[in-house]
Amino acid sequence: MSAQGLEVIDRTVHLTHEWINELTERLDWTSAHDALRLMRATLTAVRDHISHEEAAQLSAQMPLLIRGMFFEGWQPAQTPMRDRNVDHFISRIETTFGASTEYRGPEDITTVFKLLNARISDGEVKDVRGALPEAIRSLWPG
């Protein structure tokens, strides 16, 4: 039992740290804060390119704190976006993410997708990838 008696909170904090630490390692970055910012920017860009149903199904497999970040600021009436241009997708992520001396470009976005491949069920990854425009899907290894 946790010190506060709130195991669900303790568990989601632990799982969130696992995701962030794993991404930081995969990126070979020193800043977990930057890794979290990149994950958040990538997840919200994906969210805005898939259906509401698919976003809900994807989020159900995320730790509660990451799920909150996934939906924060979401404007369902403006999604899914119809822009199929991969350069616009990357630019949006980079603008949302901001600056980092460790960021190397689209290969780091692909690393976020590799984390999702490891953390989300194969079936859900397949569904989300399939819902993305082909050009954007090319960043996400199958």
The pTM assigned to this predicted structure is 0.94
The C-alpha atoms of residue 98 and residue 67 are separated, in whole angstroms, by 21
- pLDDT of 82-115, one tens digit each? 999 999 999 999 999 999 999 999 999 999 999 9
pLDDT of residue 120 exceeding 60, the answer is: yes
Given pLDDT bands bounded at 50, 70 and 90, which one contains residue 4?
low
The C-alpha atoms of residue 129 and residue 39 are separated, in whole angstroms, by 16
- pLDDT of 18-27, one tens digit each? 999 999 999 9
Contacts of the segment 130-133: beta carbons below 8 A, 24+ positions apart: 131/49, 131/50, 131/51, 131/54, 132/46, 132/49, 132/50, 133/49, 133/84, 133/86
pLDDT of residue 2 exceeding 60, the answer is: no
Amino acid at position 111, single letter: T
Kindly list the structural domains of the chain, giving each domain's residue range(s) and its CATH number in brackets, ordered by start.
Answer: 7-137 (1.10.490.110)
- pLDDT of 60-76, one tens digit each? 999 999 999 999 999 99
